[in-house]
Amino acid sequence: MFSLFYGLWKYLFSKTEFHVLILGIDKAGKTTLLEKLKSLYSNLEGLSPDRIVPTVGLNIGRLEVLNAKLVFWDLGGQPGLRSIWEKYYEEAHAVIYVIDAACPSKFEDSKSALEKVLRHEDLQGAPLLVLANKQDLPEAVSAEELSRYLDLKKLDERVYMFEAVSGYDGMGIKNSVEWLVDIMERSKRTEILRARAGGAGLRSA
Ligand SMILES: Nc1nc2c(ncn2[C@@H]2O[C@H](COP(=O)(O)OP(=O)(O)OP(=O)(O)O)[C@@H](O)[C@H]2O)c(=O)[nH]1
Ligand SMILES: [Mg+2]
């Protein structure tokens, strides 16, 4: 009996794979961050920044962070590619939204793209990590300043955090991703996605 329940418990809880969407406008530094994550959490050497080109399709990174299996989906942020983002919303456990904190002229574009993401019903309740990227540059604004500028209205019920990071030197990345893992493990959204996946399994059985 015990082994039956243990087997069920393992099936339900230990196999969770978290899907994390990495979004943000073009040149925010999403792919550079993903490559940095690979070097921080695996023995793969991520691509160096000079070998990274603008993303047109999808980059996938599979990593283990604090014993959790994460699948990162890094999408292109050029205006003509942003309509693809929503195809991934339904299956995403959380969103990392990357902003070039050293380029205030692009804050408005970043803000409106993020507001559109947050309005989408397929992302209801998904935890949000906003990264004020490129902190290695002296002109970069702090996470607090960026948060004040964005002044997001649609955050009421959402768990979120702003963090200052650099995809070049790795500053702040581990902290923020580990925060996200902890939040995803406890989030209502994860419960809902898990129940949906279990239901699909039963239907197809
Ligand atoms: N100084 C600095 N430059 C960065 C950092 N991260 C990325 N960059 C540079 O910013 C530019 C864009 O980086 P990408 O990682 O390609 O940006 P992206 O958000 O993936 O862009 P798209 O794929 O077009 O959406 C490149 O020239 C990078 O070298 C960073 O942390 N610091
Ligand atoms: Mg990219």
Domain holding 143: CATH number? 3.40.50.300
Check: CB of residue 159 under 8 Å from CB of residue 128.
Answer: yes
At 60, list the tokens. Answer: 């996938």
Residue 11 belongs to a domain: no
What is the distance in A from the centroid of ligand 2 to the CA of 5? 43
DSSP E strands, the chain: 17-23, 58-65, 68-75, 94-100, 128-133, 160-164
Bridge pairing between strands 58-65 and 68-75: antiparallel
Domain annotation covers residue 72 = no
* Domain annotation covers residue 41: yes
Q: How many CB atoms lie within 10 A of CB 173?
A: 20
pTM: 0.92
- Cα(31) to ligand 2 centroid in Å equals 4
**Binding-site positions for GTP:** 24-31, 77, 133-136
What does the alpha-carbon distance between residue 137 and residue 82 come to, in Å, rounded to a whole number?
Answer: 27
Task: Look at the chain and report how many structural domains it folds into.
Answer: 1
Q: Nearest residue CA, atom 21 of ligand 1?
A: 27
Residue found under tokens 């996605």: 193
Instruction: Give the active site residues.
Output: 78
Q: Residue 191 falls within a domain, yes or no? A: yes
ipTM: 0.99
Domain range for residue 113? Answer: 19-59+80-196
Tell me the CA–centroid distance for residue 11 and ligand 2, in Å.
Answer: 34
**Ligand 1, closest atom to CA 77?**
25
Q: Please list, residue by residue across 100-130, b when 16 or more beta carbons sit within 10 angstroms of its beta carbon and e when fewer do.
A: bbbbeebbeebbebbeebbeeeebeebbbbb
User: Which residues fall within 8 angstroms of residue 7, CB to CB, at 6 or more apart?
Assistant: none
Residue numbering of the annotated binding site for Mg(2+): 31, 55
93 lies in some domain: yes
Residue 114 falls inside a structural domain: yes
Residue 109 lies in a domain: yes
Has residue 71 been placed in a domain?
A: no
pLDDT per residue of the chain (205 residues) written in tens, 0 to 9? 777 776 666 656 665 799 999 999 999 999 999 999 999 999 888 899 999 999 999 999 999 999 999 999 999 999 999 999 999 999 999 999 999 999 999 999 999 999 999 999 999 999 999 999 999 999 999 999 999 999 887 677 799 999 999 999 999 999 999 999 999 999 999 999 998 887 654 544 3
